[in-house]
């Protein structure tokens, strides 16, 4: 097997197994627009010169969710996404994502599905779980199940030496990367129970809690491989949280309007898998470059 054909065959094998499992789980494969109408703000999308102006998608999400209807309760797409950021061993301007949405799929069922999708490609790992809310309780004495985020922001910023004026969304992301993701070397860890105020405001507030979201990320050997969440069913709460962190955009509005109109069920769950990252992890690499698109083009 040549140096070129090896990664191509490996990626094809991963995609085949993912599609086969989703087929068995009654998911329907869709294709949604790569070039979108909405400009989501500075640095989030690359523009292209198409009819009426378009922007290359950075994620598949909202356009997939609005296809979750009575006759199509489970849908997925595997396709390219684009982010205008400098490439490195784990990031690329163009990469492949698998995104899925399902109606009436519970949070624990979503985590189980995520591991059934990626676990077969990671035979040397056993899935573990770490509750961020539990970590916050142990390290900062704040129980997010019964208390608001409150004073967590300045204390978390001080712990990592961040500017106390830095938005909590950014502080939380850096803290998790430094204090939790960095400890997953040689492990596959589901980070769960994210605090409110982070970068996934559409995630559902866990029932009976003050500030815990039904959101997870699967970190494998320090690298995010999968993210997932159940959607917030309270439209007002979702809108307020999204606007508070500057992430309420036209596409989320369209999805919310479809829910309010009764066209799409409110109780949906979604996840995304970075295909090149999964291929790299399966091969024991920390470099997605061999699995990217043909560089000569």
Q: Is the pLDDT of residue 251 over 90?
A: no
E strands of 93-132, at which residues? 94-103, 127-131
**C-alpha pair distances (Å), 139 with each of 134, 206, 234, 269, 274:** 9, 21, 31, 30, 31
Percent of the chain topping pLDDT 90: 75
Q: What digits encode the pLDDT tens for the residues 148-166? A: 998 999 999 999 999 989 9
Does 31 or 252 have the greater pLDDT score?
31
Q: What digits encode the pLDDT tens for the residues 100-147? A: 999 999 999 999 999 999 999 999 999 999 999 999 999 999 999 999
Q: Is the pLDDT of residue 3 over 80?
A: no
Q: Coil, strand, or helix at residue 254?
A: helix
CB 54 within 8 A of CB 47: yes
* Strands 223-230 and 212-220, bridge-based pairing: antiparallel
Fold type of domain 5-291: BirA Bifunctional Protein; domain 2 (3.30.930)
Residue holding tokens 């009654």? 26
Model pLDDT, residue 279: 97
CA distance 24 to 82: 29
Give the strands of the sheet with 54-56, arranged side by side: 35-36, 54-56, 46-48
Domain limits, the chain: 5-291
Entry pTM: 0.94
**Mean pLDDT of all residues in 223-243:** 92
């Amino acid at each position: 097997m040549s140096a070129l054909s090896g990664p191509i065959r490996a990626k094809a094998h991963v995609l085949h197994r993912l599609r086969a499992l989703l087929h068995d789980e009654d998911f329907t494969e869709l294709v949604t627009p790569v070039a979108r109408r909405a400009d989501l703000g500075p640095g989030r999308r690359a523009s292209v010169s198409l009819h009426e102006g378009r922007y290359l998608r950075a994620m598949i999400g909202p356009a997939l969710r609005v296809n979750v209807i009575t006759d199509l309760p489970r849908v997925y797409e595997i396709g390219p996404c684009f982010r205008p950021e400098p490439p490195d061993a784990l990031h690329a301007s163009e990469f492949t994502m698998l995104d899925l949405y399902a109606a009436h799929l519970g949070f624990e069922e979503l985590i189980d599905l995520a591991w059934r999708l990626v676990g077969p490609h990671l035979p040397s790992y056993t899935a573990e779980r770490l509750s961020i809310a539990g970590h916050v309780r142990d390290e900062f004495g704040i129980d997010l199940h019964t208390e608001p985020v409150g004073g967590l922001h300045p204390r978390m910023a001080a712990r990592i030496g961040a500017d106390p004026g830095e938005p909590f969304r950014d502080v939380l992301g850096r803290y998790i990367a430094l204090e939790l993701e960095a400890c997953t070397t040689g492990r596959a860890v589901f980070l769960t129970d994210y605090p409110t105020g982070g970068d996934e405001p559409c995630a559902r507030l866990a029932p009976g809690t003050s500030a815990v979201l039904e959101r997870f990320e699967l970190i494998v050997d320090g690298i995010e491989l999968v993210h997932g969440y159940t959607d917030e069913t309270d439209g007002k709460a979702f809108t307020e949280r999204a606007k508070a962190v500057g992430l309420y955009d036209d596409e989320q509005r369209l999805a919310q309007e479809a829910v309010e109109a009764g066209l799409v069920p409110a109780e949906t769950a979604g996840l995304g898998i970075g295909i090149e990252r999964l291929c790299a992890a399966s091969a024991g690499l920390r470099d997605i470059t061999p699995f990217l698109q043909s560089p000569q083009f």
